[in-house]
């Protein structure tokens, strides 16, 4: 019985929230008619359920994120980006932006998420941290970086004199991707207008990009974070007429897996502290 309960818990953490059939099927990758053709008509109840579900375009997850200009846009993706841009253009305050994000239905991963995870911390902070995407605990609580990696991030900030009372934390996407996978290029592109407006509204002294996915998405680079960390960059949002200084650090979840990298991360944190004096 305990083994069965542990298995169910593992499924929940992986993003499984409904049992439809003995064989796993990706409803985002195939239309109901394709699913029916693949399995035949021997399960009319499951087929009826599948036919009633909305479908979406599933973008492949590339090994390296290409720049937005290099990726062809499907019509539905282009329409979602246009809607996000319109909403971001109309958000003149942080409250309006949060309301726009929470009401936005153009990103498919929102359908499988429990909560919209907008931000946490002090909106007047000098430092703005931007991570990758909500994880399981973040999805449950609706707060960015509140799981094990978030606890480590809190310790990292405290070590240089910061915490959530004088730092601001958000992500490149606002919903947990199924199974805690990385957000793909389509999801990052759809959420980008909100992130760009987010930066301008916070207007930080320094942006800290947390992890490789956030770094690649925000800086538009294909280089890995190991090559990028330890250097300074700038970020320009279309909603501000200035460049924002940018620092890069390893994601806390990576540091939990590779504690040997905490040494170089400490050097990065000291450099961040110096920039914020």
Sequence ranges of the domains in the chain: 2-52, 68-275
Contact criterion met (CB below 8 Å) for 13 and 138: no
Residue 270 has pLDDT above 70, yes or no: yes
CA-angle at 40, arms to 39 and 44, nearest 5°: 100
> Residue 230: which region, alpha, beta or left (left: phi > 0; alpha: psi -120 to 50)?
left
Q: Which of 133, 247, 112 is nearest to 195 (CA)?
A: 133
Candidates 3.40.630.30, 3.40.470.10, 3.40.228.10, 3.40.50.261; CATH matching 68-275: 3.40.470.10
Model pLDDT, residue 277 = 85
d(CA 268, CA 274): 10
Residue 58 has pLDDT above 80, yes or no: no
d(CA 23, CA 43): 12
Is the model more confident about 72 or about 42?
72
pTM for this prediction: 0.74
Q: Among 54-63, 176-185, 260-269, which stretch is predicted with the lowest mean pLDDT?
A: 54-63
Q: Among 3-12, 27-36, 137-146, 214-223, which stretch is predicted with the lowest mean pLDDT?
A: 27-36
Residue 100 has pLDDT above 90, yes or no: yes
Contact criterion met (CB below 8 Å) for 199 and 244: yes
Q: Which two tokens stand for residue 253?
A: 């979840």
The secondary structure of residue 253, as a DSSP letter, is: H
Strands (E), the chain: 120-121, 127-131, 167-171, 206-210, 233-235, 244-249
d(CA 88, CA 197): 6
d(CA 197, CA 240): 9
């Amino acid at each position: 019985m305990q083994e069965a309960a542990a298995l169910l818990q593992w499924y929940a953490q992986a993003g499984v929230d409904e049992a439809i059939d003995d064989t796993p099927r990706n409803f985002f990758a195939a239309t109901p008619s394709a699913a029916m053709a693949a399995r035949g008509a021997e399960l009319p109840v499951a087929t009826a359920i599948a036919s009633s579900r909305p479908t979406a375009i599933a973008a492949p997850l590339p090994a390296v994120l290409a720049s937005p200009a290099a990726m062809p846009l499907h019509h539905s993706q282009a329409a979602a980006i246009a809607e996000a841009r319109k909403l971001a253009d109309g958000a003149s305050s942080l409250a309006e932006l949060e309301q726009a994000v929470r009401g936005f239905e153009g990103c498919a991963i929102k359908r499988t998420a429990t909560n919209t995870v907008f931000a946490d911390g002090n909106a007047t902070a000098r430092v703005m941290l931007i991570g990758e995407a909500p994880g399981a605990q973040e999805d449950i609580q609706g707060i960015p970086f509140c799981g094990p990696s978030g606890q480590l991030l809190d310790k990292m900030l405290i070590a240089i004199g910061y915490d959530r009372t004088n730092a601001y934390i958000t992500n490149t996407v606002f919903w947990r991707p199924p199974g805690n996978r990385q957000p793909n290029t389509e999801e990052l592109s759809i959420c980008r207008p909100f992130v760009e407006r987010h930066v301008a509204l916070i207007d930080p002294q320094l942006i800290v990009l947390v992890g490789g996915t956030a770094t690649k998405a925000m800086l538009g680079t294909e280089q890995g974070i190991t090559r990028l960390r330890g250097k300074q960059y700038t970020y320009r949002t279309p909603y501000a007429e200035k460049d924002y200084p940018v620092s890069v650090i390893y994601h806390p979840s990576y540091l939990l897996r590779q504690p040997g990298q905490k040494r170089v991360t400490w050097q990065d944190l000291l450099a961040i502290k110096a920039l914020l004096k």
